[in-house]
Amino acid sequence: MIKKYWAVILLAFSIIFFVYKRIEKANSFYSYKTIYTKAGWGYEIYSEKTLFIRQENIPAVNGVKGFATKEDAEKVGEFIVLKLKATNKDLPQITVEELDSLKVIH
């Protein structure tokens, strides 16, 4: 009886801890900034003040090519930040269709 009681308490604490960590991650502060590299424009995503993603090339397309303009890199950086906040995934993916809808690939 006592072992079952402790098992239930341990399970409850585990669930509470898991839910707390998910909420904490969802509320973390994401931001972006554009960068200029040899390949063209890119972006960096920050979680709080820590560099989380550095994207020097256009994601989801073949080749090593940066964005043509700073504005294009800003559009995608902002989109990724919104996606991180909405999906709460560690590494968001972006598709060619999404890039096309943002009008950043030509």
Nearest Cα to Cα of residue 32 among 23, 24, 20, 41: 41
Cross-strand pairs, 103: none
Rounded average pLDDT over 46-64: 92
**Is residue 26 pLDDT above 70, yes or no?**
no
Q: Is residue 6 part of a domain?
A: no
Domain count, the chain: 1
Q: Is residue 92 part of a domain?
A: yes
pLDDT at 69 (0 to 100): 96
Q: Is residue 21 part of a domain?
A: no
Q: Is residue 2 part of a domain?
A: no
**Region of residue 103 (left: phi > 0; alpha: psi -120 to 50; beta: else):** left
Q: Is residue 86 part of a domain?
A: yes
Higher pLDDT, 18 or 104: 104
Q: Is residue 73 part of a domain?
A: yes
Q: Is residue 5 part of a domain?
A: no
Residue range of the domain that includes 77: 30-101
Q: Cα-flanking dihedrals φ and ψ of residue 88, to 5°? A: 60, 30
Give the pLDDT band (50/70/90) at residue 58. Answer: very high
Q: Is residue 23 part of a domain?
A: no
